[in-house]
Amino acid sequence: MVTLSEENYLKAIYHLAKPDKASVSTNAIATKMLTKASSATDMIKKLAEKGLVDYQKYQGVHLTEKGRFAAVFVIRKHRLWEVFLVKKLNFSWDEVHEVAEQLEHIKSEKLTQQLDAFLDHPTEDPHGDPIPDCEGNLPSTQKILLAQIERAESCICVGVKDSTSQFLQYLDKHNIALGTKIEVLSKESFDESMSINVKNHQLTISKEVAHNLFVKIS
């Protein structure tokens, strides 16, 4: 049995470890969990005892296969609930995170399966993040940050990196949603701002925005 707190730590470790295979530091975990390093150390020991992470003092942690699956399964539930909230209960994409943070801990295999079926087995959540299947596999996606585009080119918004409501509401305000076509017109080398065209409206976006929007070349 994995407790609610343990699930949250596993998720944090999973997200921190995502890009590479490097070990995740105690401090990184504490920062992500908004707790102190000593609390993280305590929890790491519990996770290690349960076989959810590999841990050597002072050397950070790695998720074990068991830990990775537990983390991915919570993420699967989180994202399915987000889809439910947006598609069925008329939440907007900037309102779902908090509620999904609670719903993701509900324990019922049948609930998850049936919810998945009810939603027609979605593969992405409302922010464009992939939903792991029931075996814990993530559909591989090939998305790049808008900021990585260097020349005038056309692309499609496929996800957000930052999913705080501030950023999502900024996108709403400028009519940028998943699937929206974005034409890059130019990029300012001084401040990395970009001039783009969205639905026939020209718009200048900052480096910060460009670094938090995932696109695919169209």
Partner DNA sequence: ATAAATTTTTAGTCTTGTCTAAATTTTAAG
Partner DNA sequence: CTTAAAATTTAGACAAGACTAAAAATTTAT
What is the per-residue binding string for DNA in 47-66, x denoting contact by CB under 7 A? --------x-xxxx------
Q: Which residues pair with 12 in a beta bridge?
A: none
Judge contact between 216 and 155, C-beta under 8 A: yes
Our CB check for a copy of itself shows the closer of 118 and 164 to be 118
Beta-sheet strand order (sheet of 153-160) = 144-145, 213-217, 153-160, 181-187, 194-198, 201-205
CB of 42 to DNA, least distance (A): 4
Q: Select from DNA, a copy of itself, none the partner in contact with residue 57, using the beta carbon and a kind-dependent cut-off of 5 to 8 Å.
A: DNA
- Please choose, out of 28-36, 63-71, 102-110, 210-218, the segment that lies near a copy of itself by the rule CB under 8 A: 102-110
* Site map (CB under 8 A) of a copy of itself, residues 43-82, x = contact: ----------------------------------------
Joined together, the tokens standing for residue 82 give 């987000």
Piece in contact with a copy of itself (CB under 8 A), picked from 85-93, 164-172, 196-204, 207-215: 85-93
Number of residues that bind a copy of itself (CB under 8 A): 18
**Token pair recorded at residue 215:** 């696109």
Compute CA distances 189 → 46, 102, 184, 210, 211, whole Å. Answer: 48, 43, 14, 13, 14
DSSP 151: S
Q: Any contact of residue 5 with a copy of itself (CB under 8 A)?
A: no
Interaction between residue 199 and a copy of itself (CB under 8 A): no
Q: How many CA atoms lie within 13 A of 100 on its CB side?
A: 25
Binding site for DNA (CB under 7 A): 3-6, 25-28, 33-46, 55, 57-60
